[in-house]
Amino acid sequence: MQITRRHLLTAAGGLAATAALAACGSNNGLSNNSGSSSGGSSGGSKPTLAQWYHQYGEAGTKEAVNKYAASYPDATVNVTWYAGNYDTAVPAALLTNSFPDVFEYGNGPTLDMIKGGQVVDMTDVLGSSVSKFNQSVIKRLTFQGKIWAVPQVIDMQLLYYRPSLLNKAGVQPPTTFSALVDAAKAQTTKDMGGFFAGNDGGVGVLGNMFVWASGFDQLNSGRTGLGFLEPNFYDSLKAYQAFYKSNALLKSASKDWFDASPFINGETAMQWGGLWSMPDVQKAFGNDFGVLAFPAMGSSGRPAVPFGAYSSCVAAKSKNVDAAKAFVKWLWVDQTADQVDFANSYGTHIPSQVALVPQCTKIAQGPGKDAADMVAKEGFASDIMWTGPIGDAFNSAMTNVIVKGADPASEFKPVGDKAVSELKRING
């Protein structure tokens, strides 16, 4: 599993430092297979399109996307498969003459790409089919009333546990945070921690979970400020602050949260992880594992899972914008059989079109179905206007509260001020 897969669910996103990206120039590690240099058509011949993917970790994925591209009848599609820092390489390439006609990006294009005119509006590509897609993903891809990408497949985070260990400890699968703490303590031994969410104690990956699980949204309804600076959020942080100090929370393991090894090796009884680890967990434990959303925190809380979708974008500088949009529609709207194949045959993913979910055998029953149902009922995607500066301020405050014991209300007041000024800048 590549680092970009994790970034899909953990990166703050938003407006990047354009100057820093420009400094990358054309030295982005990708072949010079740009839309501007290879995209022209002549004399009625088929146009040539350049399509970029990040490197998926699952075996066979590269061959699959090349097969899909080769079968497209209306253009020659050249696929570039990037093994380096894709999240940085794509924005850098869009500022040069070495850019793709079509490219995937985690949760769609950044605000930098949209506001800089680097990508085209894809609302008409989805058309009436927009209702077929997961609406929370569509909301994440929408800015100023326009949809800027077509979602491909969905990834998510979730909590892994073993029923046999819960039964041995005499506890039920936790649906509230207090029950999670009790279950972690009941399963903790001298050789095994009760719960693991990263070698930083879960501060990094769980930050936004504390917002959603305590019953709030990242931003207010008008997107003019934060939506969670309330007593129940602060109480939730204090509850995790106390949990952080207990020996039931494992804070040092052989791998970090995104790798299921600590759970599989018996270092922890429960682990926060990703859907991508489910094949490994199932291989290790057979039917002796289950999955949960992060449990509700406090009186206004609700179960919550974060999810995101790599989504297909079209570069505005392409000489074949219409042909590129047509290809995206063919592949990610119309070719439902290929979408099921992509979601089902290479690791474990969830199709973005809701009606296709039952056709995927890995998520049709058992923990896989539970995971897919959680996305539909309890899933949250990071707001497109949750920018890098807001995320940085939020993460710093979260560390100060959980790790250093700072007062939540005092620590998050400047975060709220930062968000107001940042959102005013974006909306201006």
- Residue ranges per structural domain of the chain: 3-155+308-380, 156-306
pLDDT-based confidence at residue 35 (cuts at 50, 70, 90): low
For residue range 231-279, list pLDDT tens digits in order. 999 999 999 999 999 999 999 999 999 999 999 999 999 999 999 999 9
Q: Is the pLDDT of residue 17 over 60?
A: no
Q: Is the pLDDT of residue 34 over 60?
A: no
- Cα 49 from Cα 325, distance rounded (Å): 11
The pairing of beta strand 102-106 with beta strand 48-54: parallel
Give the distance between the most distant pair of CA atoms in the chain: 74
* Number of other residues whose CB lies within 10 A of the CB of residue 59: 10
Q: Is the pLDDT of residue 23 over 70?
A: no
**10 vs 54: which has the higher pLDDT:** 54
Q: What is the pTM of this model?
A: 0.87
Tokens 């990610």 sit on residue: 332
- Cα 67 from Cα 60, distance rounded (Å): 11
Task: Give the rounded percent of residues in the chain with a pLDDT score beyond 90.
Answer: 82
CATH architecture classification, 156-306: 3-Layer(aba) Sandwich (3.40)
Average pLDDT over every residue of 365-389: 93
State phi, psi for 60 to the nearest 5 degrees. 90, -10
pLDDT-based confidence at residue 7 (cuts at 50, 70, 90): low
pLDDT-based confidence at residue 58 (cuts at 50, 70, 90): confident
In contact, 250 and 267? CB cutoff 8 Å: yes
Q: Please report the pLDDT score of residue 57 as a whole number.
A: 83
Q: Please report the pLDDT score of residue 347 as a whole number.
A: 83
The encoded tokens of residue 229 equal 């600076």
- Fold matches, 3-155+308-380 and 156-306: yes
* C-alpha R_g of the chain: 22
pLDDT-based confidence at residue 346 (cuts at 50, 70, 90): confident
Which among 190, 187, 201, 199 has a CA at the least distance from the CA of 245? Answer: 201
Average pLDDT of the residues of the chain = 90
In contact, 218 and 14? CB cutoff 8 Å: no
Average pLDDT over every residue of 205-209: 96
pLDDT-based confidence at residue 6 (cuts at 50, 70, 90): low
Average pLDDT over every residue of 94-102: 94
For residue range 276-317, list pLDDT tens digits in order. 999 999 999 999 999 999 999 999 999 999 999 999 999 999
Domain 3-155+308-380 coded CATH 3.40.190.10: yes
pLDDT-based confidence at residue 428 (cuts at 50, 70, 90): confident
pLDDT-based confidence at residue 42 (cuts at 50, 70, 90): very low
Average pLDDT over every residue of 164-185: 98
Q: Please report the pLDDT score of residue 10 as a whole number.
A: 54
Q: Is the pLDDT of residue 101 over 60?
A: yes
Q: Please report the pLDDT score of residue 32 as a whole number.
A: 41
Which among 116, 56, 62, 73 has a CA at the least distance from the CA of 313? Answer: 116
Q: Please report the pLDDT score of residue 1 as a whole number.
A: 42
- Cα 39 from Cα 47, distance rounded (Å): 6
Q: Please report the pLDDT score of residue 83 as a whole number.
A: 87
For residue range 78-95, list pLDDT tens digits in order. 999 998 899 899 999 999
Say how many CA atoms lie within 13 Å of 183 toward its Cβ: 26
